[in-house]
Structure 1
Amino acid sequence: MHVCTIIAKNYVAAARVLAESFHAHNPGGTCSVLVIDGHVDAAAEPFEVVTIPQLGIERFERMAALYTVLELATAVKPWLLRHLLAQNGTERVVYLDPDIQVFDSLQEVDELLREHHLVINPHLTEPMPRDSLRPSETDILIAGAYNLGFVGLAAGRETDEMLDWWSERLESDCVVAPERGLFVDQRWMDFAPGLVPDLFVLRDPGYNVAYWNLPTRRVRREGERYTANGSPLRFFHFSGYDPERPEELSRHQNRVRLSQEPALREICDAYRDALFAHGHAEASQWPYAYDRLANDFPMDKIARGVYRRALSAGQLRRGLFDARGSREFVAYLTAPADAGGDAGVNRYLHELWRSRPDLRDAFPNLDGPDGARYASWAAVSGRVEVPIAAQLLAGHADGLAGSAAGVNVVGYFKAVLGVGEHARQLVSALESQDIPVAPINLLAARARQDADGPKEQPPRYPVNLVCVNADVFADFANDVGADFFDGRHTIGYWAWEVNKLPERLVAAFDYVDEVWVGSRHTAEALMPASPVPVFRLPQPLSLPDVEPPSREQLELPDGRLFLFSFDYNSVFDRKNPLAVIAAFRRAFAPGGGASLVVKCISSEYHPQEHERLLEASSEHPDVHILDRYLSSAERDGLVAACDCYVSLHRAEGFGYTLAEAMWLRKPVIATGYSGNLDYMTPANSYLVDYQLVAVDEGRDPYPPDAEWAEPNIEGAAAAMREVFDRPEEARARGERAGQDIRRTHSPQAAGRVMAQRLQRIAAGYPLSRRTRLPSSFDVDRISSRVEAGPSRRARSRLGGPQRAARKAVLRLMKPYTAHQQMIDRELVRSMGTVDQKLSALLSTLGDARSKLDVLGAHVAAADDRLDDLSGQVDELRTEQREASRFLASFGLADQPPERAALALEDYPEAPERPWTPEWVEAHRAYVSRALDDPALLMRFKRAQPLPPGFGVGYDERVIEFPWTLTRDLSGRLLDAGSTLNHPHVLMRVRPRVDELHIVTLSPEDKAYPFLDVSYLFEDLRSLPVADSTYDCAVSISTLEHVGMDTTHFGLARESAADPDAELAGALHELRRVLKPGGALYITVPFGVEEDFGWMRQFSAEGLKRLVAAFGPATEVSETFYRYEPSGWQQCEAAEAAASRYRDHIADPEPAADRAVAARAVACVQLRK
């Protein structure tokens, strides 16, 4: 029997599991695997490897450009089946998707193929439940009647004709396009019963068991085998299963819960273990070859759509995956579109607009005023949301390379130091964008000079990029002289670690036109002191692939290895190695199976600190000190050999060693503070809590009144234990870390941002405003010359007679020469006065020039802002003219801008039945009316009684929205839970705040990015946001769902073991991201404490626990509202304590008192 499958190389672990399970139950069978995007070593695999060239697909490269990986892997299926059937002796072949595991013999299929040319399997053999869960029968209709994860073919004329027909269609129409009635290869097979008369539909419930048919198939373990509806389980299809999320059966469904199906859970857990045992952690990170062009341009679905249209129009003919084809395609993408081209809309942006109904609704007229608005949205919001590659927003094909003539990069290129690596990586980043570079090497004291750096060149470009920190920049400037700066724009690339810059370093700004830094933390420290612009750019990073050395080579014991590296010259107390040792000692007893290596250099210059380190390490036999320089290969090998990197720093400007460990896909434990938060999140690393403390005296070069972090040793020890006890989870987090940092900090990613800034420098203003001032004349030298009189006379050639004649003449001239000398002295005195005035004038002019430098830099930065503002003014004028149409698109009434406050009685009761379209529309109008009523809002603001009959038949939103809008909303606002995401609410909130960020678990049905609302699809319990980011946050009717079962909301997440702990984690995160003094506004259902599975109601005690979980608060205020048959009313806590929540999920029928959901709500204000 012969089976086959198709993979991209990053799916090889699944193919291994499939092949081995097939061979285990079908001895003597063969398994072939087609790898569509690279090479795997067939000799090391349990299957035969088939390559694309063997199939003879004439237009394969075009298909690779047209299709996503899913589409391409399914499109080549008929070519693979034809190839295998053409081999000598192969009469029958069965295709299985790679995410299948075989559990029993498939001989029955082989026997069926002796009698039929085609064997297929339907998605459904019984009706599906109509329970509003996924998938529905409609979903299956869209996907196709038959699942093509399994198909069997027998050789013959009918089969050949069917494969010819199928391959012709799949060459260009194997797409995921349900709106066109297409779903890869499957929908085409709906024609199979008509095209292949000799067809067999396999209905046995033991075949192709998967999420779509499990609602009607009961999987059980019976002895040593599994059954489905009593039939032997032949193979299980793990479609949509993610081994990184083992609690979920499939991302495509929310109906079946593994916690309620022990046999399924057992099958999935075993499959997960098999995947990891066969290399899933490594292979899943391998990039797909056809996701990027030769110039590293990302081929997303939008770019593929443009390519499809270009092919149809005959506008592109050559392949895309060589250098020339890549260059030409990016040029084609960035050319002006037919619609909106004059406003900056290129072909890529136009295809994006065509593909998204929300964008078409928001910007309907690209040739009119919407074109510029849409281009602005793409540049501001779209570039992050989609995301959109920088080249596509720059407006020309070759990225931003060449926008500046070149850069002189100054740095310690030969030094074995972090600052030296910093400079070397900057050169790599610039060269990745084809920007010419002239490296200029400096010698670093107290450092080895044998690093592999670029060849030095003389400075010849108009921009200087100087990787010399502020504390030694003046010395550097004096060494190189004024000529280095004259006529050039100078950028200082500086590192700084604590949150305040000492006054003595401010003078370094005098030498630069702007400053670049590698983290937000450093930028926030420098900006208050800087008279020139400060720009944060991603610090470039790259490491070669490293083969970890053996423990024997490292002279280290076996077991789990934790690592920390530092340089004594980088301030011992800041690097904080003693905390790492203390945490390790707390986490592991001697001989507990773990070791800690502390690798250090420069101890010879810091003997006292080194003695402290040795003393601390001597108290635990598993702590090892490695005190010597390593080559770059040895250093990288040491990181590759460790199981976890640990840094309990007090502050980092960027954190090179942490980032390098993440690049090598190592889990990292680190203080959750300072520059490392630019790339570390709770999802990709282990962040340790801390307290801010004063730096204090004796920590030069840092000012004693600055602050840094004191990491929590207990928390760090707990993180070490977690890594030790759960190695698979730690490895998965390390894999995520490697993926994240390569995406954001690779030389290409950082280089693109640098190129953008260099383009602005070249285009925005003169490269340098620094010219030398003239010096004054030397009055002292002139005065001494006058006092000395005439110079010594020359020897006379005529002897005595000539000397006598000269004396006579001089005697006659003496009155005149005396008078002349008096005049000369007076001139010298006058020149002295002039010189003093000129020196004062030159000093004043020098100060003015310095101020002009600063002003010029600010003007240059202001130019950029003015460009944006002028565009915004034009947009506002256009939007003002089209306000009625814009508001109507949201379903909002077109009302005059000024109107009298509504009467308090002007609030009608709700329609009888909640959640109907009529009720929803009435609810929208009711809330809009309330939010526009100043008299009503004043009652919410002052916690006064509400008008009688307010909110009869409406849910708690009629209370929560007005209460929230009467809070102090300003600055940067976080909506934790996406409750504000309604147009009639957003239109009233968004103008009050500078930025609005909405966090929700999954995308909403509607989004409003064109209102400058940013969306973050993350969990509140683990926000990838830096500390102290938001001025305020709101969480409206959200916290009651944290840690609860979210299946009702279409998310397959079951209740946590300890929901209160999950809630505390969410509140801790919300507090963390608030700025000091920032406020969190919460509303939750209040009354009798109840747990409905999908949400909970808080009692007075539960509310106290919630407030306590937030942590110390400078202000706590609580307001309560209760629902009665006569409507909502403000009340005391005791009056609402007996309120019971109406579970509208369990009982959708209207309640007698017309309550919709909560019958009481607590509105809480907490200030950090």
Structure 2
Amino acid sequence: MIAHSPRAIFTICSNNYLPMARVLLQSAGQQHPEADIYLCLADTLWDDPAFYAGDFQVITAEALGIPDFQEFAFRYGIMEFNTAVKPFMFQHLMALGYAQMVYLDPDIEVMAPLDHVFALLADGASLVLTPHLTQPAEREAFPDDVGIMRAGVFNLGFLAVGACPEAERIMAWWGGRLQYQCVNEPERGIFVDQKFMDLVPGFAADARILREPGYNLAYWNLHQRDLQMQGDGWTVDGTPLRFFHFSGIDPADLRQLSKYTTAFGPGAISPALAALMRRYARQVLANGHGRVPAASYAYARFASGTVIPEVVRRMFREGHRCWSGGDPFATYEAYLQLPSPLSPLCNKGYVTRLMAELHAREPWLQQSFDLRSAQGVAAYIDWFCLHARSQLGDSRLVEPVQLRAARVPVAAPPDRLPPPAAPGETQLTVVGYLQVASGVGEAGRQMLRTAMHAGFRSKGLAIQPPSLPVSVDEALVPWISDGQAARVQIFQVNADQLPTVIQDLADQLPKNSWRAVVPFWELEHFPDAWMPAFDLVDEVWAPTRYVQKMLAKRLNKPVLHMPPQLSFVPPPPAPRAQWGVPEQAFVFFFAFDLLSFVERKNPQALLRAFREAFPPQVAGTEVCLVIKTLNGHRAAAHSRSLLEALKHEPGVVLVDQLLSRAQSLQLMACCDAVVSLHRSEGLGLLVAEAMQLGLPVVATDYSATTELVSPQTGWPVACKLVPVPEGAYPYHQGQVWAEPDGVHAAWQMRQVYLNRAEAARRAQHARARLEAEFGADATAQRLRRRLAALLAGGERLGDAA
């Protein structure tokens, strides 16, 4: 292919940096209208052409022909990846036929033509470099001479290349180095792409060093140069400012020029610099800076949605120069959980390859835990289960070790086995809030349906706590009895209520009963005060892995993963007008109970994200938010004030009434997507219902809903863990929950709205997975298998699935 122009100017960034890159690309195009302008996208393209609109062409990093691209992207974090792509983009442009190519960092603005650069290239320069410093910088503030020596002599925020054999040779050498060694490890003498270029003046006879003061002005050399404002422009040492490098600037806070230095802070910013910073910040903010979240970066997570920590990337690049396991984003997470060949087994399991890597990199762990002994392995496993999340950043990398370490034999003692039921006698009784409008009530109804689907002669024993609504679901009435329970009982009751329920039903519970309980709890640590309740049962059936891991390590009895049936037959459709939902709008849906702790359900975060995602002129006409509430008339004062605010919120349709199960599903089904920005969930029934109805789901990437929502099945929202405030939830002491990233939540909602085909694809995948893993057949098979193993007295470990 022949280039349209002999000149190309380009930058490299991920999607979150595009608002800054636009300033660079627009300014470069204005100063050099003769050049072709390119954005090399170190990310994946979104299905929103308007996002990339502009007078520039987009080329993705994946399109550059980088060998073993998935391994290359997996090897590096976002900053390393963006810099590692650089020589490959130069090679790509040379292959397109360009004779003169200029790279500029996305946080640069071009203020005047780059005449000196193109003059050098026209004169035969193979490469043009700008040094960080053109005179010694012996000062207290970073960077001084030594700091520059660590970072590299030349600032690679700028590089110009002239097409010639020498440049081709240097780019091939540089690309070979950056394929595996583009790392931020100054202690090893490497700082991403920069330090390698210190060698180039010795390698390339035609390389040129540009020392003109108006080029690459930034915090590292500004103290040595005189920046002045002249009319509408700026000069440096009396010559035109060609381009300023705003490295480390925060456009929303201009008290500091750069986060990388203490220089040029409050009181040390000249009027000329302040004006330049204001001008740049206005442009960047107008382009939407801060509205594209860093969490949108495509190569930040495994295919499962688990965050890839730096220790894993380093483990991969140092241990697997050639990886034969396929796409590492899909396969390396499982590899991390394989046993390390270097340590013995112990009664708690084994040290995984990830655990061994973390241990090898931390001297204090080596001093504390001797992995050559079973005792040291057991102690290290205990430490890893309790503390490794703070090192790794994602509990999903720790969870398999926690569950393996906590497993106990699941066979019941012979004296606790229930006698077989007589012919025609009820075999199993489900005890729960079977006619109550609540998540726990629906879980009980699904358990009863599962038992019947599994072929057991089953009955329900309905209980009615005074604090919850009256009967709302009559579908299971024929299978509900107030008579004597069977000898096998499944209590779909939370642990705090279990002792009271068993005491109240004492006359209906036969002696020598075998009992399982299915408890829910939303925070990571189960309350100590409730633990004695489990003495009243023989087994605990954890509805989610999230609940299983919090109980398995604390109970000396089986804690099995027995997820509830989450599939159901959708009710017939109902018209939107029945609830006042706009007919033509794209509708997001959320529901919560005002008698619950509203802080956990977090509707305020949803409102903020909705406002951020959709401006007032769109909200209510093209897009709206339906919020279904329950028990508004019985809510506390602060919840009632929230309810009143929702009634007057633009673009929000409030439905505050008691609906039957079928009506609630009909209301949800007439919407287009479901959003849950919860702080924590023990199950996430709303999310599961949305998936079964075929609706795309946006949900906080934390707690039990991570078992349902991944980048393949929905739109996870990044979050950080924060302490649970006093009064926000029971037993809050020492607990954490999620604070969802509001910018990312708004972004994900926009993606669902804009990318209907992708949203439908993920929703279809979610429904198929829900049916396969949590459908009637799958849950019935688990129940049959568990009770068969129980009655046979067999012994299996850890999981009924």
TM-score when normalising by structure 1: 0.44
Shift, 1:156, TM fit? 0.7
Aligned to 1:479: 480
**Offset from partner CA, 1:561-597 (integer Å, 9 cap, x none):** 9x99563536533375543478899xx9xxxxx8696
Aligned to 2:656: 601
**Offset from partner CA, 1:1015-1056 (integer Å, 9 cap, x none):** xxxxxxxxxxxxxxxxxxxxxxxxxxxxxxxxxxxxxxxxxx
Q: Counterparts of 1:399 and 1:69 in 2: how far apart (Å)?
A: 34
Aligned to 1:96: 104
Q: Judge conservation of contact 1:465–1:491 (CA < 8 Å) in 2.
A: no
Aligned to 1:50: 59
Q: Counterparts of 1:67 and 1:395 in 2: how far apart (Å)?
A: 26
Give the share of equivalent positions with the same residue, in percent. Answer: 26
Q: Judge conservation of contact 2:84–2:182 (CA < 8 Å) in 1.
A: yes
Shift, 1:107, TM fit? 3.0
SS in structure 1 of the partner of residue 519 of structure 2:
strand
Q: Does 1:120 align with 2:129?
A: yes
Q: Judge conservation of contact 1:32–1:49 (CA < 8 Å) in 2.
A: yes
Aligned to 1:712: none
Shift, 1:549, TM fit? 8.0
Aligned to 1:318: 325
Q: Does 1:161 align with 2:201?
A: no
Matches within 5 A, 1:981-992: none
Aligned to 2:149: 141
**Offset from partner CA, 1:376-416 (integer Å, 9 cap, x none):** 32221122343364445635999999x999xx99999999x
Q: Judge conservation of contact 2:630–2:657 (CA < 8 Å) in 1.
A: yes
Aligned to 1:33: 39
Q: Counterparts of 1:288 and 1:311 in 2: how far apart (Å)?
A: 23
**Offset from partner CA, 1:71-99 (integer Å, 9 cap, x none):** 222222111101102223x2100011222
**Offset from partner CA, 1:888-926 (integer Å, 9 cap, x none):** xxxxxxxxxxxxxxxxxxxxxxxxxxxxxxxxxxxxxxx
Matches within 5 A, 1:160-199: 160-199=168-207
* 1:573–1:346 CA distance, 2 compared to 1 (3 A): closer
Q: Does 1:78 align with 2:78?
A: no
Aligned to 1:294: 303
Matches within 5 A, 1:168-247: 168-243=176-251, 247=255
* 1:383–1:270 CA distance, 2 compared to 1 (3 A): same
* 1:679–1:83 CA distance, 2 compared to 1 (3 A): same
* 1:287–1:654 CA distance, 2 compared to 1 (3 A): closer
Aligned to 2:636: 574
Aligned with 1:353 (options 351, 359, 364) = 359
Max radius of gyration: which structure? 1
Matched to 2:17, the amino acid is Y
Q: Which runs of 5+ in 1 are unaligned?
A: 427-437, 443-454, 589-593, 606-626, 686-730, 740-746, 756-761, 772-859, 862-1168
Matches within 5 A, 1:930-1079: none
Q: Does 1:674 align with 2:674?
A: no
**Offset from partner CA, 1:449-500 (integer Å, 9 cap, x none):** xxxxxx9982479x9999998667999998278999755765535899xxxx
Q: Judge conservation of contact 1:173–1:184 (CA < 8 Å) in 2.
A: yes
Q: Counterparts of 1:36 and 1:671 in 2: how far apart (Å)?
A: 39
* 1:582–1:283 CA distance, 2 compared to 1 (3 A): closer
SS in structure 2 of the partner of residue 125 of structure 1:
coil
Q: Judge conservation of contact 2:430–2:492 (CA < 8 Å) in 1.
A: no
Shift, 1:10, TM fit? 3.0
Which structure's relative contact order is higher, taking Cα pairs within 8 Å and 6+ residues apart? Answer: 2
Q: Judge conservation of contact 2:628–2:656 (CA < 8 Å) in 1.
A: yes
Q: Judge conservation of contact 1:135–1:253 (CA < 8 Å) in 2.
A: yes
Q: Counterparts of 2:664 and 2:345 in 1: how far apart (Å)?
A: 60
Q: Counterparts of 1:210 and 1:464 in 2: how far apart (Å)?
A: 75
Q: Counterparts of 1:532 and 1:103 in 2: how far apart (Å)?
A: 76
Q: Counterparts of 1:228 and 1:300 in 2: how far apart (Å)?
A: 42
Aligned with 2:260 (options 243, 246, 252) = 252
Q: Counterparts of 1:249 and 1:341 in 2: how far apart (Å)?
A: 54
Q: Does 1:3 align with 2:9?
A: yes
Q: Judge conservation of contact 2:302–2:308 (CA < 8 Å) in 1.
A: yes
For the aligned residue pairs, the C-alpha RMSD in angstroms reads 6.0
Q: Judge conservation of contact 1:334–1:347 (CA < 8 Å) in 2.
A: yes
Matches within 5 A, 1:698-737: none
Matched to 2:517, the amino acid is D
Q: Judge conservation of contact 2:430–2:490 (CA < 8 Å) in 1.
A: no
Shift, 1:330, TM fit? 1.9
Question: What number of residue pairs does the alignment pair up?
Answer: 623
Aligned with 1:304 (options 304, 313, 316) = 313
Q: Does 1:632 align with 2:668?
A: yes
TM-score when normalising by structure 2: 0.62
Matched to 1:602, the amino acid is Q
Aligned with 1:150 (options 158, 161, 172) = 158
Q: Counterparts of 1:551 and 1:16 in 2: how far apart (Å)?
A: 26
SS in structure 2 of the partner of residue 78 of structure 1:
helix
Q: Does 1:330 align with 2:334?
A: yes
Q: Judge conservation of contact 1:68–1:301 (CA < 8 Å) in 2.
A: yes
Q: Judge conservation of contact 1:144–1:183 (CA < 8 Å) in 2.
A: yes
Q: Counterparts of 2:630 and 2:100 in 1: how far apart (Å)?
A: 69
**Offset from partner CA, 1:514-551 (integer Å, 9 cap, x none):** 522224799589679886699984999999x9997886
Shift, 1:661, TM fit? 9.3
**Offset from partner CA, 1:785-805 (integer Å, 9 cap, x none):** xxxxxxxxxxxxxxxxxxxxx
Aligned with 1:419 (options 439, 446, 462) = 439
Q: Counterparts of 2:374 and 2:667 in 1: how far apart (Å)?
A: 61
Aligned with 2:386 (options 380, 384, 391) = 380
Q: Does 1:277 align with 2:332?
A: no
Matches within 5 A, 1:500-515: 507=504, 513=517, 515=519
Q: Judge conservation of contact 1:519–1:675 (CA < 8 Å) in 2.
A: no
Q: Counterparts of 1:252 and 1:245 in 2: how far apart (Å)?
A: 14
Q: Counterparts of 1:358 and 1:145 in 2: how far apart (Å)?
A: 35
Matches within 5 A, 1:511-550: 513=517, 515-519=519-523, 537=547
Q: Judge conservation of contact 1:303–1:348 (CA < 8 Å) in 2.
A: yes
Matched to 1:125, the amino acid is T
* 1:347–1:484 CA distance, 2 compared to 1 (3 A): farther
Q: Judge conservation of contact 2:343–2:350 (CA < 8 Å) in 1.
A: no
Matched to 2:338, the amino acid is T
Q: Counterparts of 1:296 and 1:666 in 2: how far apart (Å)?
A: 10
Q: Counterparts of 1:514 and 1:628 in 2: how far apart (Å)?
A: 24
Shift, 1:127, TM fit? 2.4
SS in structure 2 of the partner of residue 172 of structure 1:
helix
Q: Counterparts of 1:268 and 1:483 in 2: how far apart (Å)?
A: 78
Q: Counterparts of 2:366 and 2:20 in 1: how far apart (Å)?
A: 40
Q: Judge conservation of contact 1:331–1:398 (CA < 8 Å) in 2.
A: no
Aligned with 2:78 (options 69, 80, 96) = 69
